[in-house]
Every structure is written in structure tokens, then in C-alpha cells.
A and B are shown apart, each in its own frame.
Chain A
Amino acid sequence: MSIWEYANPRRFMAASGAVQPYVWGLAILLCATGLIWGFFFTPEDFRMGHSVKIIYIHVPSAFLAINAWFMMLVASLIWLIRRHHVSALAARAAAPIGLIMTAVALITGAIWGKPMWGTYWEWDPRLTSFLILFLFYLGYVALWSAIEQQDQAADLTSILCLVGTVFAVLSRYAAQFWNQGLHQGASLSLDAEENVADVFWIPLVITLAGFVFLFVALVLLRTRTEIRRRRLHAISLKERLA
């Protein structure tokens, strides 16, 4: 059994339909556990006070904002190399989710920034690269909608995705590349020394896992919708020609 068999829309619909309820269940369970734990059962930070609770939505949304783009990059490369329609439609399906996650990261970051930094916005490397990533998401979604011929739209959006990857990488590593600006380094790291304290870290990781499952659930749902829309488009073309 090869993964490429799921490039067949019928097989993808069958497999995704079977796993969807479990993915939604895990997303709801993990998000609810992590957010309730983080919001109600964690102490205040000695410097940030209770505003540290914003971390449970800011970090997972920022993580997904960047990684949704990398998922789109992989799907776009598969489209460009192997011409599997499901991968192009999966990239299209992921874009609005990445767009919303980037907006959430920017908004919650601004709200958190005001009491902590004294300003909603600063042209800091990480903040600026996130804003550019947000604009790339907007452009990507708009480009898909602007071109009627679906294969051509998939080609052009895939190339835009390759270009935008530079900013996704910059958004991820900006705080490390340029040791300046207001934004601190990563809150989650493989190096335990750099992590936030355990009391915040455990609910944060649970919420992050919940957001990842929510992303997968939404990508599956939206890809299934895109496949159905494509089928509808093919039927209406056939009816017009008949």
C-alpha cells in the first residue's frame, strides 16, 4: 500500500471520511484540556502576571501559521512534480486556515504587546516577517480565486508558495537571525533550558497538540469540499457541452 494511492480522489474521500471523526474528537479533547488547564489552573508569571495566559492561544496559532505554509509547500511541490490534483486542492484548503492562524497570532501578539512592551506594534524582525507572511497568505487565497482554469491556478499558486516560503522560514527564525527587536526567542524548544517553566509548558504543549489536530481536521474537511466542488465544476462543464 503506497501513500500515492490516496492521490486518487475516491480513495482520499473514503480514507478521510473514516478518520475525520477521530481527528475532530482529539482536537476538541486536547484543545479543551489544554485551554481550561492553562486558563484556570496555572499561576501568574512573576513578570507578566496573568497576561501570560495569552501564551496558550498565541504560541499554537503562531506555530500553525508557519507550519501550515510548510504543509502547503510540500503539497505544492507534489503538484508541480507529480501532478496529483488532491495535493493541489489540499494546499488550497490549508491556506485560509493558515491565514486565520496568522491573523490570530498577530492580533493576540499585539494585545499582549501593549501591557508588556508598551506598544501594540513595533517593526521588529519577527513581527514584520509575520505581517509579510499574512500578506502572502492573502495573495495566495486571492490568486486561487482569481484564475478560473484550475490547473493554471494550481501552477501559479504553487510558485507563489515557493517564493513565500522564504518569509515562512524568516518568521520561524527571525528572532534567532537578528538578535534585536522586542520579541523574545522561542517559547518551545528541544533545548529544555530555553523552554517556558514546566507549569506553563505542559498545558501549552497539550493546547499545541490540539491546534495541530484542529488544523488536520479542517484541512481534511476543506479538501473534501474542494474535491466535491471540482466534481461539481466538471459536471456543469459536461452539461454545458451536451
Chain B
Amino acid sequence: MSWLGKYAFDILLAYGLTALLIGGLILQSVLAARAARRQLEERGE
């Protein structure tokens, strides 16, 4: 990533933290959706 020049660390840090936060939000949303659907199915809904 040397082509990013002297700001390479800042750019990669910003993209990395964003991926972590938004990826975490998507993962949590999907897992919570699955858990709620499974619990309803277990109760015959």
C-alpha cells in the first residue's frame, strides 16, 4: 500500500475501523434475526 503515500496508515486505519464497526453491526443484526426466528419456530409460530 506504499502507493497511498505518507497517509497510508491513516487511510487504512479509517477503513479498517469502519469495516469493523459496520461489519459488527451487520453480524449482530443477522444473528439477532436468526435467534428471534428460531425461538418463534420453536414455539410453533
Contacts and interface: CB of A to CB of B under 8 A. Distances in A.
Contact of A49 (B5, B32, B40): B5
A96 interface: yes
B15 A232 contact: no
B30 A221 contact: yes
Contacts of A108: 14, 17-18
A63 interface: no
A192 to B, nearest CB: 27
Given A51-B7, A100-B25, A114-B10, A231 B17 contact: no
- Looking at chain A's contact residues, is the secondary structure mostly helix, strand, loop, or mixed? helix
Q: How large is the interface on A (under 10, 10 to 19, 20 to 34, 35 or more residues)?
A: 20 to 34
A25 to B, nearest CB: 14
B6 to A, nearest CB: 7
- Looking at chain B's contact residues, is the secondary structure mostly helix, strand, loop, or mixed? helix
A161 interface: no
A65 interface: no
A103 interface: yes
Given A104-B21, A231-B45, A221 B29 contact: yes
Contacts, number: 82
Contacts of A114: 10
Interface string A207-221: 000000010001001
Contacts of B45: 231, 235
A54 B14 contact: yes
Given A49-B6, A50-B4, A111 B13 contact: yes
A50 B43 CA distance: 55
Contacts of B40: 228, 231-232
Contacts of B7: 49-51, 115
Contacts of A104: 17-18, 21-22
Contacts of A97: 25
Contact of B43 (A51, A53, A232): A232
Contacts of B10: 51, 54, 111-112, 114-115
Interface string A90-117: 0000001100100110011001101100
A172 B7 CA distance: 28
Interface of B: 3-8, 10-11, 13-15, 17-18, 21-22, 24-26, 29-30, 32-33, 36-37, 39-40, 43, 45
Nearest 7 pairs between A and B by C-beta? A228-B36, A51-B7, A108-B14, A111-B14, A225-B33, A57-B18, A50-B4
9 contacts: A49-B6, A103-B21, A104-B18, A108-B14, A115-B6, A115-B7, A218-B26, A225-B32, A232-B43
